[in-house]
Amino acid sequence: MPSAGKSAEEAAFYFCEGIILHLRHIQPLNFLHSIWYLQSSVCMQSEFYPFQSDDDQLYFEFVRISFERTIRKAVLFTEFPHSNGLFNLALLDVLPNGELSDIASPENNLDLEKAMSTVSECLRIFLERYPYAEIKIQGNTPAKSRLYRMVLGKELSNIQK
Amino acid sequence: MKTPVESFEDRKKRVLADPKVQAILKEKMEATREFIESGGLERLRALKR
């Protein structure tokens, strides 16, 4: 994980290569052209939303449900050209009218921790498929970058245990 | 009249082909290209070893 003293650009990189991963409480279910991941009732880890992935484990979706609204989220992993295994993680809202947005403000949602736990589970599944991949996670605002670093950093440290 | 339900696969195709998503990804790729080409990524990997 990035440490203090590195530049902001460097600190935005989370290197996950070599993490030992194991299936903890995920039950994958093949369904048509996608795979569903559901949390079992005996889970003692952070709660997360059920999520769906494609066969390549490069595209994931889940639906956030809070008192205020319901939002479909898409998690995309895209490899950087000439990077030898560095992937970008993009988190998008698929709006009810079909449009896409990357400007969601997480401050207004009460389920932030659950949503971030779900993203970290997507990360874990991705890393199982691509164990030598490295992932760049950077918000489109400094506040989001700080949030991702804080919340996902904690979740990723749980993954490494 | 019922609204047709979009399948996961169709939605994935639509999301990946969306010009806005393409623009976001292109911007991310461009922002990181210089970092990779200047050797920043390799330096960071060396630090991690």
- At B12 the pLDDT is 92
A94 contact residues in B (CB cutoff 8 A)? 11, 15
Residue A134: half-sphere exposure toward Cβ, Cα within 13 Å = 17
CA B44 – CA B41 distance, rounded (Å): 5
Six-digit token string for A94: 């698929």
Helix (H) or strand (E) holding B16: helix B8-17
- Of A26-35, A66-75, A100-109, B37-46, give the lowest mean pLDDT range: A26-35
CA A141 – CA A15 distance, rounded (Å): 21
Query: If you average pLDDT over every residue of chain A, what do you get?
Result: 70
Interface test with A, best of B3, B14, B21, B22 (most A CBs within 10 A): B21
Interface test with B, best of A16, A92, A103, A141 (most B CBs within 10 A): A92
Six-digit token string for B22: 């393409």
The distance of A83 to chain B (nearest Cα, Å) reads 7
Residues of chain B with pLDDT > 70, as a percent, come to 90
Write down the pTM of the prediction: 0.75
Q: Per-residue pLDDT tens for A59-77? A: 999 998 877 678 899 999 9
Domain limits, chain B: 15-48
Beta bridge partners of A64: A71
ipTM, 2 decimals? 0.85
